[in-house]
Structure 1
Protein backbone atom coordinates (compact mmCIF):
# COMPACT_ATOMS: atom_id res chain seq x y z
CA UNK A 1 0.00 0.00 0.00
CA UNK A 2 1.20 3.52 -0.82
CA UNK A 3 1.68 6.12 1.88
CA UNK A 4 -0.96 8.32 0.26
CA UNK A 5 -3.51 5.49 0.36
CA UNK A 6 -2.75 4.78 4.03
CA UNK A 7 -3.07 8.47 4.94
CA UNK A 8 -6.47 8.57 3.21
CA UNK A 9 -7.56 5.52 5.21
CA UNK A 10 -6.32 7.27 8.34
CA UNK A 11 -8.37 10.37 7.52
CA UNK A 12 -11.52 8.28 6.87
CA UNK A 13 -10.98 6.36 10.13
CA UNK A 14 -10.52 9.66 12.01
CA UNK A 15 -13.74 11.16 10.64
CA UNK A 16 -15.62 7.96 11.48
CA UNK A 17 -14.10 7.97 14.98
CA UNK A 18 -15.14 11.59 15.55
CA UNK A 19 -18.70 10.88 14.41
CA UNK A 20 -19.05 7.72 16.51
CA UNK A 21 -17.68 9.44 19.62
CA UNK A 22 -20.13 12.32 19.16
CA UNK A 23 -22.92 9.73 19.40
CA UNK A 24 -21.28 8.36 22.56
CA UNK A 25 -21.39 11.87 24.05
CA UNK A 26 -25.06 12.36 23.12
CA UNK A 27 -26.06 9.02 24.66
CA UNK A 28 -23.98 9.70 27.78
CA UNK A 29 -25.48 13.16 28.26
CA UNK A 30 -28.98 11.71 27.82
CA UNK A 31 -28.65 8.72 30.16
CA UNK A 32 -26.95 10.72 32.92
CA UNK A 33 -30.27 12.32 33.71
CA UNK A 34 -31.19 8.94 35.23
CA UNK A 35 -27.96 7.33 36.44
CA UNK A 36 -24.79 8.66 38.09
CA UNK A 37 -21.56 9.14 36.15
CA UNK A 38 -19.56 6.43 38.03
CA UNK A 39 -22.33 3.92 37.32
CA UNK A 40 -22.17 4.69 33.59
CA UNK A 41 -18.37 4.45 33.58
CA UNK A 42 -18.56 1.09 35.39
CA UNK A 43 -20.95 -0.48 32.90
CA UNK A 44 -19.26 0.89 29.77
CA UNK A 45 -15.90 -0.35 31.10
CA UNK A 46 -17.25 -3.79 32.03
CA UNK A 47 -18.82 -4.16 28.58
CA UNK A 48 -15.53 -3.37 26.83
CA UNK A 49 -13.62 -5.77 29.11
CA UNK A 50 -16.02 -8.58 28.20
CA UNK A 51 -15.61 -7.83 24.47
CA UNK A 52 -11.80 -7.74 24.73
CA UNK A 53 -11.38 -10.77 27.02
CA UNK A 54 -11.69 -13.42 24.26
CA UNK A 55 -9.21 -11.43 22.13
CA UNK A 56 -6.63 -11.65 24.93
CA UNK A 57 -7.12 -15.35 25.64
CA UNK A 58 -3.71 -17.01 25.95
CA UNK A 59 -1.84 -13.79 25.13
CA UNK A 60 -1.04 -12.51 28.61
CA UNK A 61 2.65 -12.02 29.42
CA UNK A 62 4.59 -10.91 32.49
CA UNK A 63 5.56 -7.25 32.04
CA UNK A 64 8.54 -5.35 33.48
CA UNK A 65 7.92 -2.67 36.11
CA UNK A 66 8.21 0.29 33.72
CA UNK A 67 5.45 -1.16 31.53
CA UNK A 68 3.24 -1.76 34.59
CA UNK A 69 3.78 1.87 35.63
CA UNK A 70 2.88 3.07 32.13
CA UNK A 71 -0.29 0.93 32.23
CA UNK A 72 -1.22 2.51 35.56
CA UNK A 73 -0.68 6.09 34.37
CA UNK A 74 -2.48 5.45 31.08
CA UNK A 75 -5.43 3.89 32.89
CA UNK A 76 -5.60 6.63 35.54
CA UNK A 77 -5.42 9.34 32.87
CA UNK A 78 -8.09 7.73 30.71
CA UNK A 79 -10.38 7.08 33.67
CA UNK A 80 -10.13 10.63 35.03
CA UNK A 81 -10.51 12.04 31.53
CA UNK A 82 -13.81 10.27 30.95
CA UNK A 83 -15.06 10.96 34.48
CA UNK A 84 -14.45 14.71 34.18
CA UNK A 85 -15.86 14.77 30.65
CA UNK A 86 -19.10 13.06 31.66
CA UNK A 87 -19.47 15.30 34.70
CA UNK A 88 -18.99 18.38 32.50
CA UNK A 89 -21.61 17.11 30.04
CA UNK A 90 -24.20 17.36 32.80
CA UNK A 91 -23.62 21.09 33.29
CA UNK A 92 -22.36 22.72 30.06
CA UNK A 93 -23.37 22.41 26.39
CA UNK A 94 -22.19 19.32 24.53
CA UNK A 95 -20.09 21.28 22.03
CA UNK A 96 -18.21 23.15 24.79
CA UNK A 97 -17.50 19.97 26.78
CA UNK A 98 -16.31 18.21 23.62
CA UNK A 99 -14.16 21.19 22.63
CA UNK A 100 -12.48 21.41 26.04
CA UNK A 101 -11.75 17.67 25.99
CA UNK A 102 -10.27 18.07 22.51
CA UNK A 103 -7.68 20.46 23.95
CA UNK A 104 -5.65 17.43 25.08
CA UNK A 105 -2.92 18.03 22.43
CA UNK A 106 -2.28 21.44 24.04
CA UNK A 107 -1.64 19.71 27.37
CA UNK A 108 0.66 17.00 25.99
CA UNK A 109 3.88 19.11 26.09
CA UNK A 110 3.26 19.90 29.76
CA UNK A 111 2.58 16.24 30.55
CA UNK A 112 5.85 15.29 28.80
CA UNK A 113 7.61 17.99 30.82
CA UNK A 114 6.17 16.64 34.09
CA UNK A 115 6.84 12.97 33.29
CA UNK A 116 10.17 13.10 31.47
CA UNK A 117 11.61 16.54 32.27
CA UNK A 118 11.71 17.28 28.53
CA UNK A 119 11.53 21.04 28.03
CA UNK A 120 9.01 22.51 25.61
CA UNK A 121 10.79 23.73 22.42
CA UNK A 122 10.61 27.48 21.84
CA UNK A 123 8.88 26.97 18.49
CA UNK A 124 5.88 25.37 20.23
CA UNK A 125 5.17 28.25 22.59
CA UNK A 126 3.31 30.33 19.97
CA UNK A 127 0.79 27.56 19.08
CA UNK A 128 0.31 26.83 22.79
CA UNK A 129 -0.25 30.51 23.55
CA UNK A 130 -2.83 30.79 20.75
CA UNK A 131 -4.56 27.61 21.92
CA UNK A 132 -4.87 28.68 25.54
CA UNK A 133 -6.27 32.06 24.48
CA UNK A 134 -8.92 30.02 22.67
CA UNK A 135 -9.59 28.00 25.83
CA UNK A 136 -9.97 31.24 27.81
CA UNK A 137 -12.50 32.55 25.28
CA UNK A 138 -14.56 29.36 25.54
CA UNK A 139 -14.48 29.37 29.36
CA UNK A 140 -14.96 33.18 29.48
CA UNK A 141 -14.06 33.46 33.19
CA UNK A 142 -15.84 36.75 33.93
CA UNK A 143 -17.78 37.31 37.19
CA UNK A 144 -21.08 37.25 35.29
CA UNK A 145 -20.34 34.21 33.16
CA UNK A 146 -17.83 31.96 34.95
CA UNK A 147 -18.96 28.35 35.24
CA UNK A 148 -16.62 26.06 37.22
CA UNK A 149 -17.81 23.11 35.15
CA UNK A 150 -15.80 24.52 32.25
CA UNK A 151 -12.72 23.88 34.40
CA UNK A 152 -13.89 20.30 34.96
CA UNK A 153 -14.27 19.98 31.18
CA UNK A 154 -10.71 21.18 30.70
CA UNK A 155 -9.44 18.72 33.32
CA UNK A 156 -10.80 15.96 31.07
CA UNK A 157 -8.27 17.17 28.47
CA UNK A 158 -5.47 16.89 31.04
CA UNK A 159 -6.48 13.29 31.79
CA UNK A 160 -6.70 12.51 28.08
CA UNK A 161 -3.24 14.04 27.53
CA UNK A 162 -1.74 11.68 30.15
CA UNK A 163 -3.52 8.83 28.38
CA UNK A 164 -2.13 9.90 24.98
CA UNK A 165 1.47 10.18 26.19
CA UNK A 166 1.46 6.84 28.02
CA UNK A 167 -0.38 5.09 25.17
CA UNK A 168 2.52 6.04 22.89
CA UNK A 169 4.94 4.65 25.46
CA UNK A 170 3.02 1.39 25.67
CA UNK A 171 2.58 0.99 21.89
CA UNK A 172 6.12 -0.39 21.49
CA UNK A 173 5.68 -2.92 24.33
CA UNK A 174 2.09 -4.23 24.30
CA UNK A 175 -0.72 -4.87 21.84
CA UNK A 176 -3.63 -2.49 21.40
CA UNK A 177 -5.96 -5.10 22.92
CA UNK A 178 -3.84 -5.39 26.06
CA UNK A 179 -3.64 -1.61 26.34
CA UNK A 180 -7.42 -1.28 26.13
CA UNK A 181 -8.40 -4.18 28.39
CA UNK A 182 -6.07 -3.04 31.19
CA UNK A 183 -7.48 0.48 30.92
CA UNK A 184 -11.11 -0.64 30.93
CA UNK A 185 -10.50 -3.11 33.76
CA UNK A 186 -8.86 -0.37 35.82
CA UNK A 187 -11.77 1.96 35.01
CA UNK A 188 -14.33 -0.58 36.16
CA UNK A 189 -12.45 -1.20 39.42
CA UNK A 190 -12.14 2.52 40.21
CA UNK A 191 -15.69 3.46 39.29
CA UNK A 192 -17.19 0.71 41.46
CA UNK A 193 -16.12 2.11 44.87
CA UNK A 194 -16.78 5.65 43.65
CA UNK A 195 -20.39 4.73 42.90
CA UNK A 196 -20.79 2.97 46.25
CA UNK A 197 -19.29 5.91 48.18
CA UNK A 198 -21.87 8.17 46.53
CA UNK A 199 -24.61 5.78 47.64
CA UNK A 200 -25.48 4.81 44.07
CA UNK A 201 -26.85 1.44 43.03
CA UNK A 202 -25.23 -0.39 40.11
CA UNK A 203 -28.63 -1.70 39.06
CA UNK A 204 -29.78 0.02 35.88
CA UNK A 205 -33.40 1.13 35.43
CA UNK A 206 -34.97 -0.80 32.56
CA UNK A 207 -35.39 2.29 30.38
CA UNK A 208 -31.65 3.05 30.53
CA UNK A 209 -30.33 -0.29 29.27
CA UNK A 210 -30.40 0.66 25.60
CA UNK A 211 -28.73 4.02 26.29
CA UNK A 212 -25.93 2.40 28.29
CA UNK A 213 -25.51 -0.25 25.58
CA UNK A 214 -25.30 2.52 22.96
CA UNK A 215 -22.62 4.33 24.99
CA UNK A 216 -20.64 1.11 25.46
CA UNK A 217 -20.81 -0.10 21.84
CA UNK A 218 -19.99 3.28 20.30
CA UNK A 219 -17.14 3.79 22.79
CA UNK A 220 -15.58 0.46 21.85
CA UNK A 221 -16.00 1.08 18.10
CA UNK A 222 -14.71 4.64 18.49
CA UNK A 223 -11.55 3.53 20.30
CA UNK A 224 -11.00 0.81 17.69
CA UNK A 225 -11.22 3.41 14.89
CA UNK A 226 -8.97 5.77 16.87
CA UNK A 227 -6.29 3.08 17.09
CA UNK A 228 -6.64 2.33 13.38
CA UNK A 229 -6.37 6.00 12.47
CA UNK A 230 -3.02 6.31 14.26
CA UNK A 231 -1.88 3.08 12.59
CA UNK A 232 -2.62 4.37 9.10
CA UNK A 233 -1.64 8.04 9.41
CA UNK A 234 0.76 10.16 11.50
CA UNK A 235 -0.47 12.22 14.44
CA UNK A 236 0.21 15.39 12.41
CA UNK A 237 -2.69 14.35 10.17
CA UNK A 238 -5.01 12.65 12.65
CA UNK A 239 -4.98 15.40 15.30
CA UNK A 240 -6.30 18.27 13.12
CA UNK A 241 -8.84 16.06 11.29
CA UNK A 242 -10.25 14.82 14.61
CA UNK A 243 -11.51 18.35 15.26
CA UNK A 244 -14.41 17.64 12.93
CA UNK A 245 -15.87 16.03 16.05
CA UNK A 246 -16.57 19.56 17.32
CA UNK A 247 -18.78 20.11 14.27
CA UNK A 248 -20.68 16.91 14.98
CA UNK A 249 -21.04 17.85 18.67
CA UNK A 250 -22.25 21.32 17.70
CA UNK A 251 -24.88 19.85 15.38
CA UNK A 252 -26.20 17.40 17.99
CA UNK A 253 -26.21 20.10 20.66
CA UNK A 254 -28.26 22.40 18.43
CA UNK A 255 -30.60 19.71 17.06
CA UNK A 256 -31.39 18.03 20.41
CA UNK A 257 -30.90 20.68 23.12
CA UNK A 258 -31.06 23.93 21.15
CA UNK A 259 -27.56 25.02 22.23
CA UNK A 260 -26.06 27.68 19.97
CA UNK A 261 -22.45 28.72 20.78
CA UNK A 262 -21.90 32.47 21.22
CA UNK A 263 -19.26 34.42 19.29
CA UNK A 264 -16.69 33.98 22.07
CA UNK A 265 -17.01 30.20 21.98
CA UNK A 266 -16.82 30.16 18.18
CA UNK A 267 -13.75 32.43 18.20
CA UNK A 268 -12.11 30.26 20.85
CA UNK A 269 -12.82 27.15 18.80
CA UNK A 270 -11.12 28.69 15.75
CA UNK A 271 -8.05 29.69 17.77
CA UNK A 272 -7.74 26.22 19.30
CA UNK A 273 -8.02 24.63 15.85
CA UNK A 274 -5.33 26.97 14.48
CA UNK A 275 -3.03 26.12 17.39
CA UNK A 276 -3.48 22.37 16.85
CA UNK A 277 -2.86 22.82 13.12
CA UNK A 278 0.35 24.78 13.78
CA UNK A 279 1.53 22.18 16.30
CA UNK A 280 0.82 19.40 13.80
CA UNK A 281 2.87 21.18 11.13
CA UNK A 282 5.77 21.55 13.55
CA UNK A 283 5.59 17.85 14.39
CA UNK A 284 5.54 16.97 10.68
CA UNK A 285 8.64 19.10 10.00
CA UNK A 286 10.44 17.56 12.96
CA UNK A 287 9.60 14.08 11.67
Structure 2
Protein backbone atom coordinates (compact mmCIF):
# COMPACT_ATOMS: atom_id res chain seq x y z
CA UNK A 1 0.00 0.00 0.00
CA UNK A 2 1.48 3.33 -1.11
CA UNK A 3 1.33 6.52 0.90
CA UNK A 4 -1.88 8.54 0.69
CA UNK A 5 -1.90 11.81 -1.33
CA UNK A 6 -1.40 14.98 0.79
CA UNK A 7 -5.02 16.15 0.44
CA UNK A 8 -6.38 12.72 1.35
CA UNK A 9 -3.88 12.42 4.19
CA UNK A 10 -5.08 15.74 5.64
CA UNK A 11 -8.69 14.50 5.65
CA UNK A 12 -7.57 11.28 7.35
CA UNK A 13 -5.72 13.24 10.04
CA UNK A 14 -8.75 15.46 10.66
CA UNK A 15 -11.03 12.41 10.96
CA UNK A 16 -8.61 10.72 13.34
CA UNK A 17 -8.35 13.91 15.42
CA UNK A 18 -12.16 14.10 15.72
CA UNK A 19 -12.18 10.43 16.70
CA UNK A 20 -9.58 11.04 19.41
CA UNK A 21 -11.48 14.06 20.77
CA UNK A 22 -14.75 12.16 21.05
CA UNK A 23 -12.97 9.16 22.54
CA UNK A 24 -11.36 11.32 25.21
CA UNK A 25 -14.75 12.79 26.17
CA UNK A 26 -16.08 9.24 26.33
CA UNK A 27 -13.28 8.55 28.81
CA UNK A 28 -14.64 11.29 31.07
CA UNK A 29 -18.08 9.63 31.05
CA UNK A 30 -16.54 6.22 31.75
CA UNK A 31 -14.52 7.63 34.65
CA UNK A 32 -17.67 9.01 36.29
CA UNK A 33 -19.71 5.87 35.57
CA UNK A 34 -17.00 3.53 36.90
CA UNK A 35 -17.43 5.00 40.35
CA UNK A 36 -20.49 2.77 40.82
CA UNK A 37 -20.86 0.62 37.69
CA UNK A 38 -18.77 -2.51 37.03
CA UNK A 39 -16.48 -2.82 34.01
CA UNK A 40 -18.49 -5.59 32.31
CA UNK A 41 -21.67 -3.51 32.31
CA UNK A 42 -19.86 -0.46 30.94
CA UNK A 43 -18.52 -2.47 27.99
CA UNK A 44 -21.97 -3.95 27.34
CA UNK A 45 -23.65 -0.53 27.25
CA UNK A 46 -20.95 0.82 24.97
CA UNK A 47 -21.85 -1.89 22.45
CA UNK A 48 -25.62 -2.11 22.81
CA UNK A 49 -26.02 1.66 22.49
CA UNK A 50 -24.25 1.38 19.16
CA UNK A 51 -26.81 -1.16 17.96
CA UNK A 52 -29.66 1.24 18.73
CA UNK A 53 -27.83 4.03 16.92
CA UNK A 54 -27.74 1.91 13.79
CA UNK A 55 -31.47 1.28 13.69
CA UNK A 56 -32.10 4.39 11.50
CA UNK A 57 -29.35 3.23 9.09
CA UNK A 58 -30.94 -0.22 8.82
CA UNK A 59 -34.42 1.25 8.28
CA UNK A 60 -33.29 3.74 5.62
CA UNK A 61 -30.67 1.71 3.75
CA UNK A 62 -32.15 -1.73 4.29
CA UNK A 63 -30.62 -4.90 5.66
CA UNK A 64 -28.99 -5.54 2.28
CA UNK A 65 -26.52 -2.72 2.99
CA UNK A 66 -25.18 -4.60 6.00
CA UNK A 67 -24.66 -7.97 4.33
CA UNK A 68 -21.00 -8.95 4.26
CA UNK A 69 -18.63 -11.60 2.98
CA UNK A 70 -16.06 -10.65 5.62
CA UNK A 71 -17.89 -11.94 8.70
CA UNK A 72 -14.79 -13.71 9.99
CA UNK A 73 -12.78 -10.47 9.85
CA UNK A 74 -15.55 -8.55 11.59
CA UNK A 75 -15.63 -11.26 14.27
CA UNK A 76 -11.87 -11.13 14.72
CA UNK A 77 -11.95 -7.36 14.98
CA UNK A 78 -14.78 -7.50 17.54
CA UNK A 79 -12.96 -10.05 19.70
CA UNK A 80 -9.64 -8.19 19.86
CA UNK A 81 -11.45 -4.86 20.11
CA UNK A 82 -13.49 -6.12 23.06
CA UNK A 83 -10.36 -7.33 24.85
CA UNK A 84 -8.79 -3.91 24.32
CA UNK A 85 -11.99 -2.24 25.56
CA UNK A 86 -12.14 -4.28 28.77
CA UNK A 87 -8.52 -3.39 29.49
CA UNK A 88 -8.92 0.27 28.63
CA UNK A 89 -12.06 0.80 30.69
CA UNK A 90 -10.41 -0.98 33.61
CA UNK A 91 -7.46 1.40 33.33
CA UNK A 92 -9.79 4.43 33.28
CA UNK A 93 -11.42 3.24 36.50
CA UNK A 94 -8.10 2.77 38.33
CA UNK A 95 -5.73 5.39 36.86
CA UNK A 96 -5.69 9.07 36.05
CA UNK A 97 -7.52 9.70 32.80
CA UNK A 98 -4.40 10.88 31.00
CA UNK A 99 -2.43 7.81 32.10
CA UNK A 100 -5.21 5.52 30.91
CA UNK A 101 -5.13 7.27 27.55
CA UNK A 102 -1.36 6.82 27.47
CA UNK A 103 -1.75 3.06 27.69
CA UNK A 104 -4.45 2.91 25.03
CA UNK A 105 -2.84 5.33 22.62
CA UNK A 106 0.58 3.78 22.76
CA UNK A 107 -0.99 1.44 20.19
CA UNK A 108 0.53 3.39 17.23
CA UNK A 109 3.99 2.14 18.20
CA UNK A 110 2.80 -1.32 17.13
CA UNK A 111 0.80 -0.24 14.08
CA UNK A 112 3.57 0.17 11.45
CA UNK A 113 4.99 -3.28 12.21
CA UNK A 114 1.56 -4.97 12.26
CA UNK A 115 0.48 -3.15 9.08
CA UNK A 116 3.69 -4.25 7.37
CA UNK A 117 3.30 -7.88 8.50
CA UNK A 118 -0.41 -8.34 7.72
CA UNK A 119 -1.25 -5.73 5.08
CA UNK A 120 2.14 -5.44 3.39
CA UNK A 121 1.94 -1.67 3.73
CA UNK A 122 5.06 0.33 3.09
CA UNK A 123 6.89 1.38 6.24
CA UNK A 124 9.03 4.46 5.73
CA UNK A 125 11.72 5.89 7.95
CA UNK A 126 9.49 8.88 8.78
CA UNK A 127 6.73 6.55 10.05
CA UNK A 128 9.17 4.73 12.31
CA UNK A 129 10.63 8.00 13.59
CA UNK A 130 7.16 9.46 14.22
CA UNK A 131 6.01 6.37 16.11
CA UNK A 132 9.23 6.27 18.16
CA UNK A 133 9.08 9.97 19.07
CA UNK A 134 5.42 9.62 19.99
CA UNK A 135 6.10 6.62 22.20
CA UNK A 136 8.94 8.49 23.93
CA UNK A 137 6.43 11.26 24.60
CA UNK A 138 4.05 8.68 26.03
CA UNK A 139 6.74 7.54 28.47
CA UNK A 140 7.38 11.13 29.56
CA UNK A 141 3.68 11.74 30.20
CA UNK A 142 3.32 8.46 32.07
CA UNK A 143 6.61 8.89 33.99
CA UNK A 144 7.55 5.18 34.03
CA UNK A 145 8.15 3.92 37.52
CA UNK A 146 7.15 0.84 39.49
CA UNK A 147 3.52 1.69 38.82
CA UNK A 148 3.92 1.00 35.12
CA UNK A 149 5.47 -2.43 35.59
CA UNK A 150 2.79 -4.21 37.61
CA UNK A 151 -0.56 -5.83 36.80
CA UNK A 152 -1.91 -2.51 35.56
CA UNK A 153 1.00 -2.24 33.14
CA UNK A 154 0.23 -5.70 31.77
CA UNK A 155 -3.45 -4.86 31.37
CA UNK A 156 -2.68 -1.51 29.74
CA UNK A 157 -0.06 -2.77 27.31
CA UNK A 158 -2.19 -5.79 26.36
CA UNK A 159 -5.08 -3.42 25.61
CA UNK A 160 -2.69 -1.27 23.60
CA UNK A 161 -1.46 -4.16 21.47
CA UNK A 162 -4.99 -5.44 20.90
CA UNK A 163 -6.09 -1.94 19.89
CA UNK A 164 -3.26 -1.81 17.35
CA UNK A 165 -4.42 -5.14 15.89
CA UNK A 166 -7.96 -3.77 15.75
CA UNK A 167 -6.84 -0.58 13.97
CA UNK A 168 -4.98 -2.56 11.32
CA UNK A 169 -7.95 -4.91 10.88
CA UNK A 170 -10.18 -1.88 10.34
CA UNK A 171 -7.78 -0.73 7.65
CA UNK A 172 -8.05 -4.12 5.92
CA UNK A 173 -11.85 -4.10 6.18
CA UNK A 174 -12.15 -0.63 4.64
CA UNK A 175 -10.90 -2.05 1.35
CA UNK A 176 -14.33 -3.62 0.78
CA UNK A 177 -16.56 -2.53 3.68
CA UNK A 178 -18.15 0.92 4.32
CA UNK A 179 -17.41 2.44 7.75
CA UNK A 180 -21.04 2.10 8.89
CA UNK A 181 -20.96 -1.65 8.30
CA UNK A 182 -17.65 -2.03 10.16
CA UNK A 183 -18.96 -0.25 13.25
CA UNK A 184 -22.31 -2.08 13.07
CA UNK A 185 -20.72 -5.53 13.18
CA UNK A 186 -18.38 -4.45 15.95
CA UNK A 187 -21.37 -3.38 18.06
CA UNK A 188 -23.41 -6.49 17.18
CA UNK A 189 -20.68 -9.04 17.90
CA UNK A 190 -19.36 -7.00 20.82
CA UNK A 191 -22.82 -6.99 22.40
CA UNK A 192 -23.05 -10.77 22.09
CA UNK A 193 -19.61 -11.14 23.68
CA UNK A 194 -20.17 -8.67 26.51
CA UNK A 195 -23.69 -9.75 27.49
CA UNK A 196 -22.39 -13.03 28.92
CA UNK A 197 -20.33 -11.67 31.86
CA UNK A 198 -22.65 -8.67 32.32
CA UNK A 199 -25.71 -10.92 32.74
CA UNK A 200 -24.56 -12.12 36.18
CA UNK A 201 -23.99 -8.58 37.45
CA UNK A 202 -27.16 -6.90 36.17
CA UNK A 203 -29.00 -4.60 38.56
CA UNK A 204 -31.26 -1.54 38.34
CA UNK A 205 -29.27 1.59 37.47
CA UNK A 206 -29.86 5.20 38.43
CA UNK A 207 -30.69 7.82 35.82
CA UNK A 208 -27.29 9.41 36.37
CA UNK A 209 -25.51 6.11 35.73
CA UNK A 210 -27.61 5.46 32.63
CA UNK A 211 -26.87 8.95 31.31
CA UNK A 212 -23.11 8.41 31.59
CA UNK A 213 -23.38 4.95 30.02
CA UNK A 214 -25.57 6.03 27.11
CA UNK A 215 -23.55 9.18 26.32
CA UNK A 216 -20.32 7.15 26.49
CA UNK A 217 -21.81 4.65 24.05
CA UNK A 218 -22.89 7.37 21.62
CA UNK A 219 -19.50 9.09 21.71
CA UNK A 220 -17.63 5.81 21.31
CA UNK A 221 -19.59 4.78 18.24
CA UNK A 222 -19.39 8.15 16.50
CA UNK A 223 -15.68 8.08 17.28
CA UNK A 224 -15.44 4.65 15.64
CA UNK A 225 -17.08 5.97 12.46
CA UNK A 226 -14.51 8.79 12.23
CA UNK A 227 -11.78 6.22 12.91
CA UNK A 228 -13.03 3.95 10.10
CA UNK A 229 -13.15 6.84 7.65
CA UNK A 230 -9.61 7.85 8.61
CA UNK A 231 -8.20 4.39 7.92
CA UNK A 232 -10.15 4.24 4.68
CA UNK A 233 -8.38 7.39 3.51
CA UNK A 234 -4.81 6.57 4.52
CA UNK A 235 -2.62 3.59 5.51
CA UNK A 236 -2.60 2.64 9.19
CA UNK A 237 1.15 3.07 9.58
CA UNK A 238 1.06 6.54 8.02
CA UNK A 239 -1.52 8.15 10.31
CA UNK A 240 -1.29 5.98 13.45
CA UNK A 241 0.76 8.47 15.54
CA UNK A 242 -2.04 11.06 15.24
CA UNK A 243 -3.87 8.95 17.83
CA UNK A 244 -1.49 10.40 20.44
CA UNK A 245 -3.43 13.66 20.41
CA UNK A 246 -6.08 11.94 22.55
CA UNK A 247 -3.60 12.11 25.43
CA UNK A 248 -3.51 15.89 25.09
CA UNK A 249 -7.31 16.02 25.15
CA UNK A 250 -7.33 13.75 28.21
CA UNK A 251 -4.88 16.06 29.95
CA UNK A 252 -7.23 18.99 29.35
CA UNK A 253 -10.22 17.08 30.76
CA UNK A 254 -8.11 15.89 33.69
CA UNK A 255 -7.34 19.50 34.59
CA UNK A 256 -10.90 20.75 34.11
CA UNK A 257 -12.68 17.96 36.01
CA UNK A 258 -10.10 16.57 38.46
CA UNK A 259 -7.60 19.42 38.75
CA UNK A 260 -4.77 17.31 37.32
CA UNK A 261 -1.90 19.60 36.32
CA UNK A 262 0.89 18.47 33.97
CA UNK A 263 4.40 18.59 35.40
CA UNK A 264 7.67 19.35 33.58
CA UNK A 265 8.04 15.84 32.16
CA UNK A 266 4.44 15.78 31.01
CA UNK A 267 4.97 19.01 29.08
CA UNK A 268 8.05 17.53 27.41
CA UNK A 269 6.04 14.43 26.58
CA UNK A 270 3.20 16.46 25.07
CA UNK A 271 5.73 18.37 22.97
CA UNK A 272 7.17 15.12 21.65
CA UNK A 273 3.68 13.85 20.88
CA UNK A 274 3.00 17.05 18.95
CA UNK A 275 6.24 16.50 16.99
CA UNK A 276 5.08 12.98 16.11
CA UNK A 277 1.82 14.41 14.76
CA UNK A 278 3.68 17.03 12.73
CA UNK A 279 5.76 14.27 11.14
CA UNK A 280 2.50 12.87 9.78
CA UNK A 281 1.46 16.19 8.24
CA UNK A 282 0.76 16.23 4.49
CA UNK A 283 3.34 18.90 3.64
CA UNK A 284 6.14 17.12 5.47
CA UNK A 285 5.18 13.73 4.03
CA UNK A 286 5.18 15.24 0.53
CA UNK A 287 8.64 16.73 1.07
CA UNK A 288 9.99 13.46 2.46
CA UNK A 289 8.55 11.53 -0.48
CA UNK A 290 10.26 13.88 -2.90
CA UNK A 291 13.57 13.28 -1.18
Q: Give me the TM-score of the superposition, normalised by structure 2.
A: 0.78
Map 1:94-173 to 2 at 5 A.
Answer: 94-112=97-115, 115=118, 126-143=129-146, 148-173=151-176
**Structure 1 residues 120 and 262: alpha-carbon distance in aligned structure 2, compared to 1, 3 A threshold:** same
Cα offset, 1:232, TM superposition? 6.1
Contact 1:84–1:152, Cα closer than 8 Å, also in 2: yes
In structure 2, the partner of 1:179 is 182
2:83 is equivalent to residue 77 of structure 1 = no
The size of the alignment, in residue pairs, is 280
In structure 2, the partner of 1:86 is 89
Secondary structure of residue in 2 paired with 1:90: helix
Once residues 26 and 166 of structure 1 are traced to their aligned partners in structure 2, the CA distance between those partners, rounded to angstroms, is 27
Contact 1:14–1:225, Cα closer than 8 Å, also in 2: yes
2:224 is equivalent to residue 223 of structure 1 = yes
In structure 2, the partner of 1:256 is 257
Contact 2:16–2:230, Cα closer than 8 Å, also in 1: yes
Contact 2:134–2:273, Cα closer than 8 Å, also in 1: yes
**Structure 1 residues 51 and 138: alpha-carbon distance in aligned structure 2, compared to 1, 3 A threshold:** same
5+ residue gaps in structure 2?
Answer: none
Contact 2:111–2:164, Cα closer than 8 Å, also in 1: yes
Contact 1:17–1:226, Cα closer than 8 Å, also in 2: yes
2:197 is equivalent to residue 194 of structure 1 = yes
Cα offset, 1:70, TM superposition? 1.8
**Structure 1 residues 101 and 280: alpha-carbon distance in aligned structure 2, compared to 1, 3 A threshold:** farther
C-alpha root-mean-square deviation of aligned residues, in Å? 3.6
2:255 is equivalent to residue 245 of structure 1 = no
In structure 2, the partner of 1:38 is 40
Deviations 1:245-265 (A, max 9, x none): 322211110111122233334
Cα offset, 1:219, TM superposition? 1.7
In structure 2, the partner of 1:58 is 63
Once residues 272 and 9 of structure 1 are traced to their aligned partners in structure 2, the CA distance between those partners, rounded to angstroms, is 20
Once residues 99 and 88 of structure 2 are traced to their aligned partners in structure 1, the CA distance between those partners, rounded to angstroms, is 10
Deviations 1:9-40 (A, max 9, x none): 55554443333222211011101111111101
Cα offset, 1:225, TM superposition? 3.0
Q: Give me the TM-score of the superposition, normalised by structure 1.
A: 0.79
Deviations 1:182-240 (A, max 9, x none): 111121112122234xx421543333111112112222222233334455677688555
5+ residue gaps in structure 1?
Answer: none
